[in-house]
Amino acid sequence: MKELSLNILDISKNSVKAGATLTQILLDETEEKLTLKIIDDGCGMKKEMVESVTDPFTTTRTTRPVGMGIPLLKLAAEMTDGSFTIESRHFEEYPENHGTEVTAIFNKNHIDFTPLGDVTASVTTLIQGSPNADFLFKHTLPNGEVSVDTRELREQLGDVPLDTFEVILWIEEYLKEQYEALNN
């Protein structure tokens, strides 16, 4: 993957696939470190699955027996001397608070750090692809914060789906403006 934001898009789709009603994508950035957390309330995974998800030959896809999503994110973090952890609570064992939490920490100044890239495009694409799920995206930077919460958008929109063209283009502009305001 050329941008970390593409890994974020890819991994967040797993949360939707796991039936999450809310997926939180949290980016916390300092001068030295970037911490990515993806927290969902999906069905969760059993212990054996959690142990094997970093193996490229573990996958939920049915078209090919290879799954590169998690291994690629783990590699991207470890290449920067960072870390990758995944914790999950399967719904059978945790009927009240099931879900999965992925944490990847990157050293931004490491030569092998993959740039974050276009997060706005990833968040917009994620919402476009799963208009019935909710997402909270929050990017905390040293000089401020960029965020969007689809639950708040839904309050305004009522029955109008989130993947309506005009809504998607609006979300893209909404995030872009927040990033521009921080850069100025």
Partner 1 sequence: MKSLAELQAIKEKMQNKVALRDGSGEMRVVVGMATCGIAAGARPVLSAFVEEIANEGLAGKVTVSQTGCIGICQYEPVVEIMEAGKDKVTYVQMTPEKAKRVVEEHIKGGKVVAEFTLANKA
* Contact residues for 88 (Cβ-Cβ < 8 A; gap 6+): 44, 45, 49, 50, 99, 100, 101
Q: In what order do the strands lie in the sheet with 144-149?
A: 83-89, 99-107, 33-40, 22-29, 134-141, 144-149
Percentages helix, strand, coil for the chain (3-state, rounded to 5) are: 35, 25, 40
CB atoms < 10 A from the CB of 61, how many? 10
CB of 182 to partner 1, least distance (A): 12
75 part of the interface to partner 1, by CB under 8 A: no
Rounded to the nearest 10 degrees, the angle between the axes of helix 150-157 and helix 165-183 is: 130
24 part of the interface to partner 1, by CB under 8 A: no
Nearer to partner 1, 27 or 119 (CB): 119
124 part of the interface to partner 1, by CB under 8 A: yes
Question: Between residue 125 and residue 154, which ones bind partner 1 under the rule CB under 8 A?
Answer: 125, 128-129, 152-153
169 part of the interface to partner 1, by CB under 8 A: yes
Binding-site size for partner 1 (CB under 8 A) equals 38
25 part of the interface to partner 1, by CB under 8 A: no
69 part of the interface to partner 1, by CB under 8 A: yes
Question: Which chain residues interact with partner 1 by CB under 8 A?
Answer: 1, 6, 9-10, 13, 61, 63-64, 67-69, 72, 118, 121-122, 124-125, 128-129, 152-153, 156-160, 163-170, 173-174, 177, 181
